[in-house]
Amino acid sequence: MKEIEARLQQGDCLEVLQNYPDNFFDLIVTSPPYADSRVNTYGGLKPEKYVPWFTQRSAEFLRVLKPTGTFILNIKEKVTNGERNTYVLELILALREQGWLWTEEFVWHKKNCHPGKWPNRFRDTWERCLQFNKARKFNMYQDAVMVPMGDWAKTRLKKLGKNDVVRFNSQAQSGFGKNISNWVGREKAYPGNVLHLATETSNKNHSAAFPKALPEWFIKLFTQEGDWVLDPFVGSGTTSEVALAMNRNSVGIDKLPEYIAMAKETVGATKLFCREDGSIDWDQLVAFNSGIT
């Protein structure tokens, strides 16, 4: 197989991407700076300035993404003055204006969120992963993310009533997927749109790294080996690390040189711990990164 590349480039993604041709990437998966967050580390933006700032860059994302590609945007609005800020909702509308289709919204449930107490709300345990596409037909490898059928099979599927079958069959175009009886006896099912993933208390020095499992799931779902993945706000290099381990080519961009240096270290270590079949030995890698070996 052709050698897999993990390119890491320092600069504003708006400028760096100008060197890439149209329709180049199969997947863009990223977590940009959120409005008003982490102002002291990598420059948070005011919510009212966020949409124009972002859409300038997403115009480039639209240009470099293949028509069959997907853009996953991990983002979450904060509370300001006792209300959820609306900038993410405004961003979704602006992205639609720009030509993106807002295909789906996945919820990342942070299943290990630390406890807390606030006077008028509960702890925030989820973030958005918004899916945008250029066209209604895009590449999606659903079988790659199937999950065990689990208890559902033991309870609901075993007790299928006549109505279950009639109801689903009578919806003329419901097809295989909606007819519950077709799932009886199967070991695996397609997942829902809520991802239950723990945040990682990473050994990295980046304050907002997402867990490896997050880009990994979307890379599995939307790409195949040898495809190209872009993270225009790559931070500590999580997406590049995972893409390389999964035999996908990648480009990771960050405006801060210290994060690109960090990402290079991570990706270098990833290469070091690639098994013959291309998969990664995470235990070895984590031990290496934390200086245990």
- Binding residues for ligand SAM (CB under 6 A): 12-13, 31-33, 42, 206, 208-210, 232-233, 235-236, 238, 253-256, 259
Q: Which is nearer to ligand SAM, 124 or 164 (CB)?
A: 124
Helix, strand, coil fractions of the chain, as percent rounded to 5: 40, 25, 40
Burial annotation 262-281 (CB, 10 A radius, 16+ → b, else e): bbbebbebbeebbeeeeebe
Residue 16: CB minimum distance to ligand SAM, A = 8
In sequence order, the 6+-apart residues with CB closer than 8 A to the CB of 232 are: 13, 16, 17, 28, 30, 32, 57, 61, 253
Residue 13: CB minimum distance to ligand SAM, A = 4
If DSSP codes are grouped into helix, strand and coil, which group holds residue 281? Answer: coil
- Which residue's C-beta sits nearest to ligand SAM? 235
Q: Which is nearer to ligand SAM, 183 or 233 (CB)?
A: 233
Q: Which is nearer to ligand SAM, 11 or 191 (CB)?
A: 11
Nearest-angstrom CA–CA distance, 213 and 215: 6
Residue 2: CB minimum distance to ligand SAM, A = 26
Residue 170: CB minimum distance to ligand SAM, A = 46
Nearest-angstrom CA–CA distance, 62 and 97: 12
Residue 94: CB minimum distance to ligand SAM, A = 17
Residue 201: CB minimum distance to ligand SAM, A = 13
Burial, 191: exposed, middle or buried (Cβ in 10 Å; 0-12, 13-18, 19+)?
Answer: middle
Phi, psi of 135 (to 5 degrees): -140, 160
Closest CA to 183 of 214, 146, 208: 146
Residue 239: CB minimum distance to ligand SAM, A = 6
Q: Which is nearer to ligand SAM, 206 or 248 (CB)?
A: 206
Burial annotation 115-141 (CB, 10 A radius, 16+ → b, else e): eeeeeeeeeeeebbbbbbbbeeebbbe
Nearest-angstrom CA–CA distance, 96 and 128: 17
Q: Which is nearer to ligand SAM, 26 or 254 (CB)?
A: 254
What separation in angstroms does the CA of 292 have from each of 89, 175, 283, 287?
A: 44, 53, 11, 5
Q: Which is nearer to ligand SAM, 227 or 231 (CB)?
A: 231
Q: Which is nearer to ligand SAM, 42 or 183 (CB)?
A: 42
